[in-house]
Amino acid sequence: MAWDFETEPEFELKLEWIRQFVRDKVEPLDLIFPHRSFHPLDDETGPLVRPMQQEVRDQGLWGAHLGPELGGKGFGQLKLALINEILGTSSWAPIVFGTAAPDTGNAEIIAHYGTEAQKEKYLQPLLNGECFSCYSMTEPHAGADPTMFTTRAVKDGDEWVINGYKFFSSNARTARFIIVMAVTDPDVSAYQGMSMFLVPADTPGVNIVRNVGLDGERDNEGSHALIHYDNVRVPAEALLGGEGQAFVIAQTRLGGGRIHHAMRTIGLAQKAIDMMCERALSRSTQGSLLGDKQFVQGFIADSYAQLKQFRLFVLYTAWEIDEYNDYKRVRKDIATAKVVMPTVLHDIAWRAMQVHGALGVSNEMPFNGMIHGAASMGLADGPTEVHKVTVARQLLREYKATDDLWPTEHLPKKLAAAKAKYAEYLEHEVGNL
């Protein structure tokens, strides 16, 4: 019997260390340095964060998503899920543990498709936590449909010249390099006509027009860049993978990234349940605790049920990735987790906020950020609707049409078949009467 929901005792000890370390040492950074986790370490953050990163390394937990060939422990996705659900409670934790998006996905594709020289120049510093990276795909006029992208890369001798605009390129302002998706052959299908380039962020012509902020961020705090690539010249060696391979590379990258977001979301939603339950047991109104009111009990039960289902599904999907080692084969379940994730976080955070009354909607509690985060998750790495289409298409492939007028499960048809199957017995029964 191979189904097993237990964690190995030795690994559970590691998880306990992570829980305590994140709670005691890392979460305070979120309060002292909000919105700064993706800024290069400076005189203020460096002296605090670097020793923490060393502690994580000493525990053998740095870059938990990486295989041994890249300097990680090769935990696999299931163990990573158990780690990431803890790291999801803090915006600094992924930086302290070397598992922050979009760097994880970017590292994955350079490891997979990069040349030795590209790995040395870009991958190693990224894995060491020495720099940030950016993934620049969405354009101002088109996001969900990459076949509409127009940013163009044209060969000019030994160089490529990139022109166009990209939107919501996260962390471009602090990245050392940017992975840019551009059209290299407009005469073939977009699936064969786009390529990826590794572009140092300080290349002349990489112009950040503005850094768009999310809700709650002040004007100067935004980190999602509108970039104008204005005659950006890069050498031929800047091409990542082969010419026309952008779609294949993007799928490799986004598969892992999506499930990692789902893992971290479990931790965040659990935090909202913890807050909801504490409040339910601490606050009374009209003669009884909130936790004794049936509406609030309903909030708690629904939240518990929703998160349990989601968590088991994410862990199962992580197990599938380990088992099959093939993102394509697990595509339907990764997309399903991506579809469910924003709703789970939104619903639970919303109920927890409601149970906290006015305090809940104030900026003295973290619920607004969670709810906005849920909305962002419904867009980042592709909108929910597009992933629903993927799920449905994949699922439909597992079925085939009936050529009968009536559905296979049509009861009169099945009854007739059942009667025919047991005709002899039925006649016998009748005969005995």
CA dist., res. 48 & res. 305, Å (int): 38
Helix (H) or strand (E) segment spanning residue 161: strand 159-170
| Nearest approach, Cβ of residue 219 and ligand FAD (Å) | 17
Binding span for ligand FAD by CB under 6 A among 59-67, 241-249, 379-387, 392-400? 379-387
Only segment of 108-116, 120-128, 163-171, 293-301 that touches ligand FAD (CB under 6 A): 163-171
Residues touching ligand FAD, count (CB under 6 A): 20
Q: CB–CB of 132/37 below 8 Å?
A: no
Residue given tokens 């090769």 in the structure block: 74
Does the protein bind ligand FAD through residue 143 (CB under 6 A)? Answer: yes
Residue list 298-317, contact with ligand FAD (CB under 6 A): none
Q: Closest approach of Cβ 145 to ligand FAD, in Å?
A: 6
**By C-beta, is 171 or 303 nearer to ligand FAD?**
171
Site string for ligand FAD, 217-246 (x = CB under 6 A): -------x----------------------
Task: Tell me the helices (H) and strands (E) count for the chain, helix number first.
Answer: 17, 10
* Buried b or exposed e, range 256-267, using 16+ CB within 10 angstroms: bbbbbbbbbbbb
Residue of closest CB approach to ligand FAD:
143
Tokens of 74: 């090769």
CB of 151 to ligand FAD, least distance (A): 11
- 379 scored as a contact of ligand FAD (CB under 6 A): yes
Question: Helix, strand or coil for residue 414?
Answer: helix
3-state secondary structure 97-156: CCCCCCHHHHHHHHHHHCCHHHHHHHHHHHHCCCCEEEEECCECCECCCHHHCCCEEEEE
- Looking at the Cβ atoms of 273 and 377, the one nearer to ligand FAD is 377
168/327 with CB nearer ligand FAD: 168
The region of 24-32, 135-143, 283-291, 303-311 touching ligand FAD under the rule CB under 6 A is 135-143
Q: CB neighbours of 90 closer than 8 A, spacing ≥ 6?
A: 22, 26, 27, 29, 30
Q: Applying CB under 6 A, which of residues 37, 104, 118, 170 lies at the interface with ligand FAD? A: 170
Looking at 84, 89, 118, 169, which residue binds ligand FAD (CB under 6 A)? 169
CA distances, 44 to each of 39, 57, 129, 131, 320 (Å): 11, 21, 17, 17, 42
C-alpha to C-alpha distance for 71 and 124, rounded to whole angstroms: 10
Task: Tell me the DSSP string of 33-92.
Answer: STT-TTSPP-TTTHHHHHHHHHHHHHTT-TTTTS-GGGTS---HHHHHHHHHHHHTT-SS
Q: Which of 122, 135, 165, 310 binds ligand FAD (CB under 6 A)?
A: 135
Q: Does 281 bind ligand FAD (CB under 6 A)?
A: no
β-strand partners of 195: 182
Position 151 contacts ligand FAD (CB under 6 A): no
**Span interacting with ligand FAD, options 104-112, 244-252, 347-355, 380-388, rule CB under 6 A:** 380-388
Taking the least distance from each CB to ligand FAD, the nearer of 223 and 306 is 223
Q: In this complex, which beta carbon is closest to ligand FAD, that of residue 205 or of residue 222?
A: 222
Cα of 142 vs its chain's centroid, Å: 21
Least separation in angstroms between CB 105 and ligand FAD: 9
Burial of 384 (0-12, 13-18, 19+ CB in 10 A): middle
100-119: contacts with ligand FAD (CB under 6 A): 102
Residues that bind ligand FAD (CB under 6 A): 102, 135-138, 143-144, 168-170, 224, 376, 379-383, 385-386, 389
